[in-house]
């Protein structure tokens, strides 16, 4: 999979994605991440990329021309261009799976108070990572690349992908590692029993219980999913 990131601060995205699982996937060539800086497409002495908003207001807005040129540099016929903005549709696991089907993704990070609205004519999608405002789109790009990148074949074990949270809308069951007793707290006996059927049942019940309690919205989606499956 190939991803281009349009950003004024490439290191903010490159560094966190150079470590651990995604770092290894990049070394193996399973994931190719490239950076384009709109500042390299300015023509004035100060390499200006932002300007005061028309109509007044505080802060600065990213100008359309350097952004447009940066996007155009990497955009191909099969590219999927995504603006990262708190005004976008909210990212989740099913959006991650949707992005996984794209041949080439261009993630465009805003900075300062956002972009000139006219850049949206060159985008296929607008995505937010949640209802909060970041100082720029870069941390959002890291989250999106991490979650899509780990779904790419060969990056992590297939079984790990299949067992986890949000599969069929349920949160993951609790997990435990050594030691079996820690500060007087014991791992549930059943998990030490070796009875795989019972363990499977216990985990499923825990998933249901935790989802119902912590995320009633997801639990409802799960119920709807079951109803649709029965129809």
Span from 24-32, 37-45, 82-90, 96-104 in contact with ligand ADE (CB under 6 A)? 82-90
Closest distance of CB 162 from ligand ADE, Å: 28
Closest distance of CB 137 from ligand ADE, Å: 4
Closest distance of CB 85 from ligand ADE, Å: 5
Cα 215 from chain centroid?
20
Among positions 93-122, residues that touch ligand ADE (CB under 6 A) are 110
Q: Which of 5, 8, 70, 140 binds ligand ADE (CB under 6 A)?
A: 140
Closest distance of CB 176 from ligand ADE, Å: 33
Pick 128 or 207: Cβ nearer ligand ADE: 128
Q: What is the DSSP letter of 118?
A: G
Angle at 122 between CA 117 and CA 128, to 5 degrees: 65
Is 8 a binder of ligand ADE (CB under 6 A)? no
The token pair that represents 132 in the structure block:
């909060």
Q: Which of 43, 56, 77, 132 binds ligand ADE (CB under 6 A)?
A: 132
CA-derived radius of gyration, the chain: 22
Closest distance of CB 165 from ligand ADE, Å: 20
Sign of CA dihedral 127, 130, 131, 136: negative
User: Smallest Cα–Cα separation from 32: which of 12, 5, 69?
Assistant: 5
What gap in Å lies between CA 69 and CA 144, rounded to an integer?
A: 23
What gap in Å lies between CA 161 and CA 179, rounded to an integer?
A: 25
Pick 112 or 202: Cβ nearer ligand ADE: 112
Pick 138 or 222: Cβ nearer ligand ADE: 138
Span from 65-73, 83-91, 157-165, 188-196 in contact with ligand ADE (CB under 6 A)? 83-91
Helix (H, G, I), strand (E, B) or coil at 81: strand
The token pair that represents 28 in the structure block:
């193996």
Strand partners, 89: 127
Which residues contribute to the site for ligand ADE (CB under 6 A)?
84-86, 110, 128-130, 132-134, 137, 140
């Amino acid at each position: 999979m190939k991803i281009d990131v349009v950003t004024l601060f490439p290191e903010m995205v490159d560094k966190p994605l150079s470590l651990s699982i995604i770092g290894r996937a990049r070394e193996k060539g399973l994931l190719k991440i490239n950076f384009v800086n709109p500042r390299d497409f300015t023509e004035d002495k100060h390499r200006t990329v932002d300007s005061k908003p028309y109509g007044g207001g505080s802060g600065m807005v990213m100008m359309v021309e350097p952004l447009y040129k940066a996007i155009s540099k990497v955009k191909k016929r099969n590219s999927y261009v995504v603006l990262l903005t708190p005004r976008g549709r909210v990212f989740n696991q099913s959006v991650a799976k949707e992005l996984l089907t794209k041949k080439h993704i261009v993630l465009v990070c805003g900075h300062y108070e956002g972009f000139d609205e006219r850049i949206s004519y060159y985008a296929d999608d607008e995505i937010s990572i949640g209802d909060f405002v970041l100082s720029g789109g870069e941390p959002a790009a890291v989250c999106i690349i991490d979650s899509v990148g780990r779904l790419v074949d060969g990056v992590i074990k297939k079984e790990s992908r299949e067992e986890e949270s949000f599969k069929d809308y349920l949160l993951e069951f609790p997990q435990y590692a050594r030691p079996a007793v820690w500060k007087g707290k014991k791992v549930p006996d059943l998990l030490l029993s070796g009875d795989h059927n019972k363990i499977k049942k216990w985990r499923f019940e825990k998933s249901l219980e935790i989802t119902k309690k912590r995320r009633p919205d997801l639990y409802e989606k799960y119920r709807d999913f079951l109803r649709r499956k029965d129809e």
